[in-house]
Amino acid sequence: MQDKRYLMIPGPTPVPPKVVAAMTTPMFGHRTQEFQNLHKDIVTKLQKVFQTKNDIFVLTSSGTGGMETAVANTVSPGDKVLTLVGGKFGERWSELAKAYGAELIEENFEWGTPVNPQIVKDRLAANPDIKVVFATQNETSTGVTNDIESIGKIVADTPALLVVDGVSGVGGIEIKVDEWHVDILTTGSQKSLMLPPGLAVQSVSDKAWQVIENNKSPRYYFDLVKARKSLGKWNTAYTPAVSLFVGLNTSLDMMLEEGLDNVYARHKLLRDAARAAIKALGLKLMTDDNCASPVITSVCAPEGIGADDIRKVLTNEFGITFAGGQAQLKNKIFRVAHMGFADKMDVLIAISGLEMALTRVGYPVELGAGVKAAQQVFLGVQK
């Protein structure tokens, strides 16, 4: 029986022992000065990560709850919106927009490729009444990181809002909310922020508030106007996940102590090593180098071998968990996460296990080739 486990999926991700320990702090009331002080500290630290002076809300919900909050507060029935879809989570923006009665313009991009900013510009020019553009920073289902900076510059020249899903990216991939004109950025706790599931974090611009205050969609728990009223007292509208707030404060301390530039450089290094290893094993990557995610690497299964067969061997024999493909990519790709509490040895363990699993399923592999390629990246050795 495999007792030791290696979790390498894009959420939930491993939680640092320091964060786990913090969350065992004896419970305290959420309507106390102690909580208010904690809440204020967290928001101040999040503003550094988000690179924003905007209001930031820590909501007790999943990342999808954060996404729904963004839609519920900006989309009234009949509003025209643009969703930029290049994977499963771009599709989620479309599904949410439909649920709130939007008139949907869905722009689809081939899975594994990034959003083309010029197409965004063209759609906005042809539809000047678009109210909101919904984008994805890091498309977890494919391993693509989109150019939010370029998209933000385009949307900023129009009345439309730019709402970004940063659920898997924020904390592992840099984003500059104010400089890049992101009106609402939402993320989740269980990915690059190194926490268990249960929190959504959201920043809101002045431009967005003008829309939110006049929005007609019904909402109760996800009402940002209520949340802002409570935030003025460093409180929350409803009962927060107090232990997760404590953990978030600690995980943010860890990131700021490491230095945000170092955090982002670490994730890029892990990506580069993982991609070099996959290429050395003769496998095909889902994405090109120019849009490859720093936090997750998507790999096409070899011809004639199911990705899920490889994953089963990894889990059953070696205790390593990779993520599978979603929708049309099911059983065609596997995904290796290196986000949050991840380092060089995590990548080496993943690649070593992958080499053995590939051997088990009959794919000809030179054992050690992938590990060597990753090691060379980590050591700065040129091939």
Secondary structure (3-state) at 173: strand
Rounded distance between C-alpha atoms, residue 156 and residue 163, angstroms: 12
Burial of 249 (0-12, 13-18, 19+ CB in 10 A): middle
How far lies 368's CA from each of 274, 277, 309, 310, 351, in Å?
A: 13, 10, 21, 17, 9
Cβ partners under 8 Å of residue 232, min gap 6:
none
Cβ partners under 8 Å of residue 149, min gap 6:
176, 179, 180
Secondary structure (3-state) at 121: helix
Query: Same fold for the domain at 6-12+259-379 and the one at 17-257?
Result: no
DSSP code string of 266-323: HHHHHHHHHHHHHHHTTPEESS-GGGB-SSEEEEEPPTTS-HHHHHHHHHHHH-EEEE
- Predicted pLDDT of residue 69: 98
Cβ partners under 8 Å of residue 276, min gap 6:
373, 374, 376, 377
Structural domain spans, the chain: 6-12+259-379, 17-257
Residues at the binding site are 335
Burial pattern 306-322, b for ≥16 Cβ within 10 A else e, equals bbbbbbebbbeebbbeb
- Predicted pLDDT of residue 3: 76
Is the pTM value of this prediction over 0.85?
Answer: yes
Q: How many residues does the chain have?
A: 383
- Predicted pLDDT of residue 381: 86
Residues at the binding site for substrate are 335
Report the candidate in 34, 33, 52 with the shortest Cα–Cα distance to residue 43: 52
Tens digit of each residue's pLDDT, the chain (383 residues): 557 899 999 999 999 999 999 999 999 999 999 999 999 999 999 999 999 999 999 999 999 999 999 999 999 999 999 999 999 999 999 999 999 999 999 999 999 999 999 999 999 999 999 999 999 999 999 999 999 999 999 999 999 999 999 999 999 999 999 999 999 999 999 999 999 999 999 999 999 999 999 999 999 999 999 999 999 999 999 999 999 999 999 999 999 999 999 999 999 999 999 999 999 999 999 999 999 999 999 999 999 999 999 999 999 999 999 999 999 999 999 999 999 999 999 999 999 999 999 999 999 999 999 999 999 999 998 66
H or E stretch including 252?
helix 242-258
6-12+259-379 folds as Aspartate Aminotransferase, domain 1 (3.90.1150)
Q: Any idea which architecture 17-257 has in CATH?
A: 3-Layer(aba) Sandwich (3.40)
